[in-house]
Amino acid sequence: MNWALYAVLHSLCRAFFVETNRVYKIDSWHLTFMQALFGFMVLTPLVPFMNWPMDVRFYFAAIIVALITAVGYMIQLGLAAQKTGRVTGMYMPLEAVTATVIWILVMPATLELHTHNLLLSAGVVVAFVMATWGMVKIRHSDVSWGTFLIVAPVGVTYAVSGIATKIVMPETMIIPTVLSYVYVSFAVMTFALGLVLLAKKKASKEMLEIRTLRGGLLTGAFSVIGALSFVASVAMAPNPGYTSMMAMMLPVWLLLFHKAMRVEDSAHKSSAVILTLGVILLIAVTAVFGE
C-alpha cells in the first residue's frame, strides 16, 4: 500500500501548492516559471542517483507531461490568486474518473479483474461517489459552471498524464526512475516557460522581488515533492486514477489548515468527513481484494 502513502503526500502538496498563491497572489506566468526553475535546481544534485531507462517513450512521456503540467499550473495558480485554493480542485473528480475508466478499458488484466470481482468494482464506484459528493458539497460558493469549464481541460489532460506516466514507468528501481522522470519534466518546463516569457516579453524585474522569490520557493518546494510523490504513487498503484481520486482530499487539507491558522472558512465539516470516508473506502477495497 505504499502507493496510498505517496498519494496522501501528493494530495497535501497539491493543497499547499495552490494555497501559496491564494496568499501571495503572484502573476501565474512568473510563479509557474519560478517553481519550475526551483525544482530543476533542487533535483540537479541528485542526477548521480537517478536511473535512466533506454526506452525512448519514457522521455517522450516526461516531455509531454511537463508541457501539460505547465499549462495546468498556470491555470490553477491564476485561479488561486483570484478566488481560493479550493476552487482549483474542481477538476479532480473528472481527472479521477477519466484516468480510472480509461485504465480499466485499455488494460485487459484490470478489466478482467473488475468484471469478475463486482464487490471491488462496486467499492471503487461508491468510494468515488462519496468523495465527489463531499468535494462538491464542501462549500457551495466554490462551485460554478464557469469555473468548471476553465478547469475541466486540466482534469482531462492530467488524467492522460497519469496514464502515460504509469505506462512508461518500470516495475524495478522505481524511486531512482521517478527522480529522473520528474527531473526531465522540470527541465523541459523551465526551458519552455523561459522561452515563452521572453517571447511574450513577460520577463521583468518583478520576478526578482523578494515576495516573488519567496512565493516561488514555497510553491517550488510543494511542486517538487508533489510531483515526486505523484509519479511514485502512479507507478505503484493498481490504477493511476486511484492516485487522482485521493488527490481529492485537497479541500479537506485546506479546511484543517485554515482551522489551525484561524483563517475564516465556511466549508462544511460533514462534507469533509464524507469525502475522507470515500478515500478510506478506496484504500480498503483495493487492499482487501488485492488489486
Read off the pLDDT of residues 216-270 as tens digits, 9 standing for 90 and up.
Answer: 999 999 999 999 999 999 999 999 999 999 999 998 999 999 889 888 777 789 9
For residue range 27-86, what is the model confidence (pLDDT) as tens digits? 889 999 999 999 999 999 999 999 999 999 999 999 999 999 999 898 888 877 776 545
Q: Looking at residue 11, what is its pLDDT? A: 96
Q: Count the domains in the chain.
A: 1
Tell me if 291 is assigned to some domain: no
Tell me if 21 is assigned to some domain: yes
Mean pLDDT over each residue of the chain, to the nearest integer:
90
Q: Looking at residue 217, what is its pLDDT? A: 93
DSSP summary character for residue 155: H
User: Left, alpha or beta for 290 (phi > 0: left; psi -120 to 50: alpha)?
Assistant: left
Q: What does the block give as the cell for 152?
A: 475541466
- Count of alpha carbons within 13 Å of 52, Cβ hemisphere only? 6
| Residues sharing a CB contact under 8 Å with residue 29, sequence separation 6 or more, in sequence order | 74, 193, 196, 197, 200, 202
Q: Looking at residue 235, what is its pLDDT? A: 96
For residue range 130-155, what is the model confidence (pLDDT) as tens digits? 999 998 888 665 556 666 677 788 88
| Residues sharing a CB contact under 8 Å with residue 289, sequence separation 6 or more, in sequence order | 117, 119, 120, 123
- Residue 242 CA to residue 163 CA, distance in Å, equals 11
For residue range 164-173, what is the model confidence (pLDDT) as tens digits? 999 999 988 9
Tell me if 166 is assigned to some domain: yes
Domain of residue 175 covers 12-117+141-238
Does position 6 have pLDDT exceeding 60, yes or no?
A: yes
Tell me if 265 is assigned to some domain: no
Q: Looking at residue 88, what is its pLDDT? A: 58
The 3-state DSSP class for residue 193 equals helix
Tell me if 23 is assigned to some domain: yes
Answering whether pTM is above 0.85, one says yes
Nearest to 84 by CA among 289, 282, 251: 251
Tell me if 22 is assigned to some domain: yes
Please give the helix or strand (H or E) that residue 116 lies within, else none.
Answer: helix 108-116
Tell me if 70 is assigned to some domain: yes
Tell me if 168 is assigned to some domain: yes
